[in-house]
Each structure stands twice: as C-alpha cells, then as structure tokens.
C-alpha cells in the first residue's frame, strides 16, 4: 500500500530513541521529510543521521525541551522554515515516574502536567496554522493504554493521558472543517529504555520481561516498530476518515471491552 507520504513534512517530538525514533524512521521510510526533536543534541543528531542513512530521505534534528514554551516556539518556527510546510505533528515526550498516588507531591504533578499534557496543547496550538494550510493535516498523540485499563503505579501518566484523550476529541471536532484529523495511539508495553529501566535493580532483564509478557495475551512485549506502524497509517491519506480515536497497540493487554 502506498501511504502517499512522499510530499509530506512530519514533526516527531521526543524522537532520539524509543517509540519516537521508531515513528520517525517509519515515516521517513514511507517518504516523508521528517523533523525530530528532543533535548540531548548529540543523541538527536546521531539519530537523524542514522535514519537518513537508512531511508535515503532528509531528516532534520532540532533540539527542544517540550516543557519549555520558548523552546517549543522556536522549534515549530524552525521546523516550518525547514521545508516550508508542516503536514503531520506527532506529539510525544518522556514519561512521568511510576509510583503510588500517595508518593507524589505538587512538584511531581506539575512536571507531569508540563511534560505530558501542556506540551501537547502547546505544540498543537503552534503547529495549527501550518496544519490548516496543509489541507490534510494530522495530529497524532502518543499516550498509553493505561487510558483503557488500570496500570498499577501509573497515576501521573494515566491522569495526563486522559486529559490528552479529551483534548484530542475536542480538537478532532473543532479541526474537522480544516480536514485535520486528531488521534491517539496507546501503546502497552513496548521494548524501549523506559521499560528496561523499570526492571528492579539486580533482576535479570530478560527474565523480568519474560515474566511480564505472561500477562499479555500475545505473550510478548511489543516492538517500537509496532506502535510506529499504527502512527504511520494514521498519518496517511488512507486514514483520512479516522479522527478522535484512541487506538491501543498492546498485544491484547487491556482487559476492557470497548
């Protein structure tokens, strides 16, 4: 299937590694010109060069901390100037810490809000004029399947992601006249550094992940490319009639019927 991304320009936030990198790679492999952003400039440049080498399509690295309004403003301006347009915005960021509700203070709540909710509002607002001009704009938010089924210790993440679900639904309604679609992709457990870091100190990583996979109907941890494939489809012309949706990519892990 030709996803018709050849003349499209895509921004992928938080893309030096993990899910963001997999998404940037998949979009680039489909022909899109991609602009990636995250904080560590050295890592970001390395990733951009790696993807460009792999796909043969131009990838631009622009450092940004998505929690900083001035940096996001500069990032979106530079991204728009890079190829003269923005068609696709993938909102992604690092994840907040896991713990029980009682262990999070006000600062932790503020940081999670800035990282996983306000960043989505800001980047979307700043990219909106360009997406309106695109004629078939796309906003795709990386959230978590914790919006569908309880995930222990994920109170900060779940709260902010539920906010993103509401925001995306409102945006999908308001942006429909511009032919902009807005959707969320909700990964379960995908093999990235974020997941390997949750393995308790001293435990065998492979054994721990194998044990975790036993609770997943498909009996394995997901690959970042499997989230990226769904994002890439949502970015395509073929997905033009899907908007306001939240799509789990979780091997069947969420136990809700919906």
Ligand X SMILES: NC(=O)c1ccc[n+]([C@@H]2O[C@H](COP(=O)([O-])OP(=O)(O)OC[C@H]3O[C@@H](n4cnc5c(N)ncnc54)[C@H](OP(=O)(O)O)[C@@H]3O)[C@@H](O)[C@H]2O)c1
CB of 90 to ligand X, least distance (A): 11
92 touching ligand X, by CB under 6 A: yes
79 touching ligand X, by CB under 6 A: no
Q: Which of 9, 35, 66, 147 binds ligand X (CB under 6 A)?
A: 66
CB atoms within 10 A of CB 107: 8
64 touching ligand X, by CB under 6 A: yes
67 touching ligand X, by CB under 6 A: yes
Measured distance CA(52)–CA(55) in Å, rounded: 5
Helix, strand, coil shares, percent, the chain, to 5: 50, 15, 35
Q: Which of 189, 236, 243, 246 binds ligand X (CB under 6 A)?
A: 189
Which C-beta is closer to ligand X: that of 14 or that of 89? 14
Q: Which helix (H) or strand (E) holds 129?
A: helix 119-134
Measured distance CA(138)–CA(180) in Å, rounded: 5
For ligand X, how many residues bind (rule: CB under 6 A)? 30
Q: Which helix (H) or strand (E) holds 232?
A: helix 224-235
Q: Which of 123, 140, 142, 171 binds ligand X (CB under 6 A)?
A: 142
Measured distance CA(117)–CA(13) in Å, rounded: 14
225 touching ligand X, by CB under 6 A: no
Which C-beta is closer to ligand X: that of 20 or that of 137? 20
CB of 97 to ligand X, least distance (A): 10
Burial (0-12, 13-18, 19+ Cβ within 10 Å), 200: exposed
Positions in the binding site for ligand X (CB under 6 A): 14-20, 38-40, 43, 64-67, 92-95, 115, 142, 144, 157, 187, 189-190, 192-195
């Amino acid at each position: 299937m030709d996803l018709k991304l050849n003349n499209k320009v895509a921004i992928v936030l938080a893309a030096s590694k993990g899910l963001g990198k997999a998404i940037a790679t998949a979009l680039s492999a489909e022909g899109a010109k991609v602009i990636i952003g995250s904080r560590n400039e050295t890592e970001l440049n390395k990733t951009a060069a790696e993807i460009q080498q792999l796909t043969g399509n131009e990838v631009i690295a622009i450092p940004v901390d998505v929690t900083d309004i001035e940096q996001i403003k500069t990032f979106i301006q530079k991204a728009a100037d890079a190829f003269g347009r923005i068609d696709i915005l993938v909102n992604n960021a690092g994840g907040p810490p896991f713990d029980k509700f009682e262990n999070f203070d006000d600062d932790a709540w503020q940081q999670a809000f800035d990282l996983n909710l306000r960043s989505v509002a800001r980047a979307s607002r700043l990219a909106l004029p360009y997406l309106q001009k695109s004629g078939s704009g796309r906003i795709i938010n990386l959230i978590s399947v914790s919006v569908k089924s309880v995930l222990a210790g994920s109170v900060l993440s779940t709260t902010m992601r539920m906010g993103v679900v509401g925001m995306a639904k409102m945006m999908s309604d308001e942006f429909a006249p511009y032919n902009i679609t807005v959707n969320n992709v909700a990964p379960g457990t995908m093999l990235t550094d974020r997941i390997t870091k949750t393995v308790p100190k001293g435990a065998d990583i492979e054994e721990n992940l194998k044990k975790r996979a036993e609770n997943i109907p498909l009996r394995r941890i997901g690959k970042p490319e499997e989230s990226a494939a769904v994002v890439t489809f949502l970015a395509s012309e073929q997905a033009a009639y899907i908007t306001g949706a939240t799509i789990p990519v979780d091997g069947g892990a969420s136990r809700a019927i919906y």
